[in-house]
Structure 1
Amino acid sequence: MFHYRQVLAHMRSGQSDRQIAKAGLMGRAKASELRRIATEQGWLDPRRPLPEDQTLAAVLKGPKRPASESILAPYHDKIKSWHQQGIAGTTIHQALVRNYGFTGSYSAVRRYLQQLKASAPEATVMLDFKPGEVAQVDFGKGPKITDTTTGEIFSTWFFVMTLAFSRHQYAELVRDQKIPTWLGCHRRAFEFFGGVPEKVVVDNLKSAITKACWRDPKVQRSYAELAQGYGFLISPCPPNEPRKKGRVEAGVKYIKRSFLPLRRFRSLADANRQLRQWILETAGNRIHGTTKQKPLTLFAEAEKHILRPLPDRAPEPAVWSLHKLHGNCHLQFEKCFYSAPYRLVGKELWVKATETTVRIFHEHELVALHPRKHRPGEKSTSTAHLPPDAVAYLMRDPQWCLRRAEAIGPNCSRLIRSLFSHRVTDNLRAAQGVIGLARKYGQVRLEAACRRAIIFDSPKYITVKTILAKGLDQEIPDPVPTRLPLAYTGKGRFQRTYQVITASHREDTICTPCPN
């Protein structure tokens, strides 16, 4: 309308359509049409003021031409419902063709969906926060870093916490988004700010929220415990509503666009050192587009002293997780194994893991405490958690068997040593069985039975057991020639020396005088 007013002013001053066109204000044909309408309306009379813009618009625009009806109009309600559910345009087009015999192209569906979006613009509200009231947290995809020392190439993530009032932020590059990383980043962020905000707005990542819900979201137990320790409230965003934490979303984009380009990182530590320096020098001292102030200055002057003080003793981040106790009386946590009482085999147990300890709970009762293991495959076992039979087998090792055998007698000790000296078979259970016979028959009879088994060169568990069961240990064994060894000595069982053989021959031979 301002443009039309200019042309009308030139017409009222006496300029022709040719002069108006030559000045570049309007073409001759359009100026001629405007002059005709202005003459009919009496706008060219210099004694009368020009009409208001609303009157000019009503006369010059004229009645609108009726728009042609879209071929998709009969399916308007269905298309609108599908679009609100987030169904893709190609899927909507295929459903119309398949179910309703639609003959139009996908382009018609695409244009119709664009009209739906344009006809219902969404209005938003800018939220205001008090100093120290809210911090917003988010993760963003970071760069791939090649460690110049080890040559390892790994992906990274940005952890960003932005104070909603001052826009001052803490950022850190990490390797993953697991619960220990999430908790540790919060701790370092609070220490960076020197205080704790009243509320932390988070997305629905699994490290923070186990079940995303508009009304009743479920908070991860580890994160809830950290919030209690620091004294802040967790405020999850509704599902699919990232704009509820738009200030940290903008902070992540700012880091990606301003910090990352044209930088080289030698390692993760080097990247975080550069990031910390950039936050305190560049990001913190820029003029923010919304607050029109420097975030670092606004934080120092109006927000830092409002934050809640850090606790005297920082709560130790702990990871809670649910695990099943296997039949071997161990559960697996972070690729390591920890024992729990055998009576709980098959049950779900809560594990609370810190940097140094692993605590295992059953129905709120602490049932096991272990030192934290970090190398995959490591095992922490308490013998008190194992079944009695297994404990007995583990405790009665070869050294235990030898000590018990020596207490019983020399023959028993000799038999046990003979069992352990076997080159093929592991005779630990046989040795345990021999020692165990003392409980039923007594040490005296066991010692005698071992002596008889040794005499007959059969140092076996079944031999000793049979001797005791039949009472053969009570019988006096047949006299054995002194020239025969009483036990296995490393030589042949019935081996005799030449002197023994010749002496025996001289005793048994009667010499007769030679007839010559």
Structure 2
Amino acid sequence: MLRSGTVIRLHELQACGKSIREITRETGHSRNTIRKYLRANGIPEPRSRKKRVSKLDPFKSLLDQYLEKGIFNCEVLLRLLKERGYTGGITIIKDYVKPRRPPRQAPAVQRYETKAGYQAQVDWKICEYIDLNGEVRKIPVFSMVLGYSRAMYIEFTKRCDIHSFLRCLMNGLEYFGGVPKTMLTDQMKTVILGMGDDRKPRWHPLFEDFAATIGMIPKVCRVRRPQTKGKVERSVQFIEQNFMPGRSFTDLGDLNRQARQWCDEQNRRIHGTTGERPIDRLAQEKLGMLPSPERWAKYRFEPRKVSRDGFVSYDSVRYGVPWRYSGREVKVRDINGFIEIYCEKQLIARHEKQYRSRTLVMCEDQYANLSTAQGYAYPRPQGVQIPVQDVEVRPLDVYEHLVEVGA
């Protein structure tokens, strides 16, 4: 069959007054072919060829039944058809199945719209950056999204442990100005220790106590079902693809200041799903009241032990305390850009937070009177030597007189 351009060329040659013989000589096509296309109105319809009998034809109805049952593996279909007497190959089976095979897709899920003030979704994400030495480093970021308003809060940390999680969670709730009724996470080890025999989560004791204190119900989504918390899943992807690329920062504190500013900007933009600004919908969330600072202050503290030289290690930075507390158990909290160290509810040291690892921060008068006390915080137990007392010498008649008086 000739192409459209060739057919047009034949008509042009005929219009120029050339004969069939001249057109044949110029194009190389046979006379009959040229006559057929010149006589036809347009391009002639191809003749229908007699359909070739296929070895698969007697089995197509059976093959359709297998396809309706969801069997699209051609190796399996070949085996099943051979059991029924099929003698052909697998290629014609593949040609038959290909246009009937459904496209690959994830299973459909139902969309849930969260009520105002009902749910917050929380997750961790590991991002990457290049340090001053040109090496690729990893850094975790905490992300929290309110289900109704889509208001977002993120915070970068050095650790993903339970104490960092609670600190970020408290900072996020303070940023939103209230507490939602429920919080949804995946089965992260910072909040859940495992599943019990009753298939109910065994919560981390510290997290469970925290949730009960602030009046929030924790929930976890099923394993390998991240779409259950799709709002925060999209937010962590947004952080990785929108916030981090090309981001320059000096240290973790600078990075978190930029992250807070970025959250403010995003929460003031029109959200693609709701068509409203998250900051405007946040006012409609009707979140529960934040607990008093005294109620959740204890969850900001982390236990540490003071080294012999009077330092406490926190986020890879060593903070000094008076040497008399060496070897003792203390509690540390990170609050408002400062590191506060307490011993039995007494503040013993307060330092401006440092972000560079292996930094050493001395305490004022950290080693005062250390030499005099010879390194001991308390006096060592000692005996006391006293002078010899003189004994009074009395005459014997004194004692005889006393005996007579007694008689």
Superposition TM-score, scaled by structure 1 size:
0.43
1:225 aligns with 2:205: no
**Structure 1 residue 177, shift from structure 2 partner:** 0.3
Q: CA-to-partner distance for each residue in 1:26-54, whole Å, 9 max, x for gaps?
A: x954xx87xxxxxxxxxxxxxxxxxxxxx
- Structure 2: which amino acid aligns with 1:279? C
Q: Distance in 2 between matches of 1:237 and 1:122?
A: 17
Matched, 1:407 2:386: yes
- Separation in structure 1 between the aligned mates of residue 154 and residue 148 of structure 2, nearest angstrom: 17
In structure 1, C-alpha distance between the alignment counterparts of 2:378 and 2:259, rounded to whole Å: 56
Alignment of 1:259-274 (within 5 A): 259-274=243-258
CA distance in 2 between counterparts of 1:319 and 1:293 reads 35
3-state DSSP of counterpart to 2:382: helix
Decide which of 235, 260, 269 is 2:219's aligned counterpart.
Answer: 235
8 Å contact kept, 1:138–1:202: yes
Question: Residues 267 and 273 of structure 1: is their aligned pair in 2 closer, same or farther, counting only changes over 3 Å?
Answer: same
Deviation (angstroms), 1:251: 0.5
Q: Deviations over 1:411-443 (max 9, x none)?
A: xxxxxxxxxxxxxxxxxxxxxxxxxxxxxxxxx
Q: Looking at both structures, which has the greater relative contact order when contacts are Cα pairs under 8 Å and sequence separation is at least 6?
A: 2
- CA distance in structure 1 between the aligned counterparts of 2:275 and 2:63, rounded to whole angstroms: 47
Letter in 1 for 2:267: G
1:255 aligns to what SS in structure 2? helix
The corresponding residue for 2:114 is 129
1:70 is the counterpart of 2:37: no
Please name the residue that 1:140 is paired with: 125
Residues 1:319 and 1:278: Cα distance change in structure 2 (over 3 Å): closer
Q: What are the residue-to-residue correspondences of 1:317-336 with 2, within 5 Å?
A: 317-318=298-299
Question: Closer, same or farther in 2 for the Cα pair 1:236/1:117, shift >3 Å?
Answer: farther
Match of 1:207 in 2: 190
After superposition, the Cα gap between the structure-2 partners of 1:66 and 1:290, relative to the gap in structure 1 and judged at 3 Å, is same
Q: Using the TM superposition, give the Cα deviation of residue 168 of structure 1 relative to its aligned residue in structure 2, in angstroms.
A: 0.9
Q: Which residue of 1 aligns with 2:228?
A: 244
User: SS at 2:253's partner residue?
Assistant: helix
Unaligned runs of 5+ in 1: 1-16, 22-26, 34-62, 77-111, 323-332, 340-351, 360-368, 377-393, 411-443, 445-516
Cα shift at 1:152: 11
Q: How many residues align?
A: 268
Alignment of 1:7-156 (within 5 A): 28-29=45-46, 66=63, 70-72=74-76, 122-144=107-129, 146=131, 155-156=138-139
Structure 1 pair 144–69 and aligned structure 2 pair: CA distance change class (3 A): closer
Is the 2:302–2:332 Cα contact (8 Å) retained in structure 1?
no
* Residue number among 309, 312, 321 corresponding to 2:292 in the alignment: 312
Which of the pair is proportionally richer in strand? 2
Q: CA deviation at 1:255?
A: 1.4
Measured in 2, the distance between the counterparts of 1:239 and 1:206 equals: 13
Tell me: CA distance 1:161–1:407, structure 2 relative to 1, closer, same or farther (3 Å): same
Q: Deviations over 1:199-238 (max 9, x none)?
A: 0111222211111468311111111121122111111222
Partners of 2:242 and 2:164 in 1: CA distance: 25
What is residue 88 of structure 1 aligned with on the other side? Answer: none
1:321-346: per-residue Cα shift (whole Å, max 9, x none)? 99xxxxxxxxxx9999668xxxxxxx
**Preserved CA contact (<8 Å) 1:196 1:230:** yes
CA spacing shift, 1:358–1:64, aligned 2, 3 Å: farther
Q: Offset of 1:161 from its aligned partner?
A: 0.4
Q: 1:117 Cα deviation (Å)?
A: 9.4
2:143, 2:235 within 8 Å by CA — same for their partners in 1? yes
**CA–CA distance in structure 1, aligned partners of residues 206 and 106 of structure 2:** 40
SS of structure 1 residue aligned to 2:296? coil
Letter of the 1:280 counterpart: D
Letter in 2 for 1:407: I
SS at match of 2:291: coil
TM-fit CA distance, 1:193: 0.4
Choose which of 167, 178, 189 in structure 1 pairs with 2:172: 189
| Counterpart in the other structure of 2:362 | none
Q: CA 1:396 to 1:166, structure 2 compared with 1: closer, same or farther past 3 Å?
A: closer
Question: Which amino acid counterpart does residue 272 of structure 2 have in structure 1?
Answer: G
Q: Does the Cα contact within 8 Å between 2:122 and 2:142 map onto a contact in 1?
A: yes
Mapped to 2, the partners of 1:294 and 1:373 lie a distance apart of 43
**Aligned mates of 1:198, 1:271 — CA distance in 2:** 30
2:400 aligns to what? Answer: none
Q: Paired residue for 1:280?
A: 264
- In structure 1, the residue matched to 2:153 is 170
Q: Which residue identity does 1:400 align to in structure 2?
A: Q
% same residue: 26
Of residues 238, 241, 256, the one that matches 1:254 is 238
The DSSP-based 3-state class of the residue aligned with 1:215 is coil
Residues 145/408 of structure 1: CA separation in 2 closer, same or farther (3 Å cut): farther
Q: Which runs of 5+ in 2 are unaligned?
A: 1-39, 49-59, 65-71, 81-96, 304-312, 317-325, 334-340, 351-357, 359-376, 392-407
CA–CA distance in structure 1, aligned partners of residues 343 and 379 of structure 2: 29
Per the alignment, residue 84 of structure 2 pairs with none
Contact 2:125 2:141 in 1 (8 A): yes
Q: Is the 8 A contact 1:204 1:212 kept in 2?
A: no
Structure 2: how far apart are the matches of 1:117 and 1:408? 106
Q: 1:158 aligns with which of 118, 141, 165?
A: 141
Any conservation in 2 of the 1:162–1:169 contact (CA below 8 Å)? yes
Change (3 A) 1:249 1:116: farther
Compare the two structures and name the one with the higher helix fraction.
Answer: 1
Give the secondary structure class of the aligned counterpart of 2:156. Answer: strand
- Matched residue SS, 1:129: coil
3-state SS, counterpart of residue 144 of structure 1: strand
Of residues 292, 310, 317 in structure 1, which corresponds to 2:275? Answer: 292
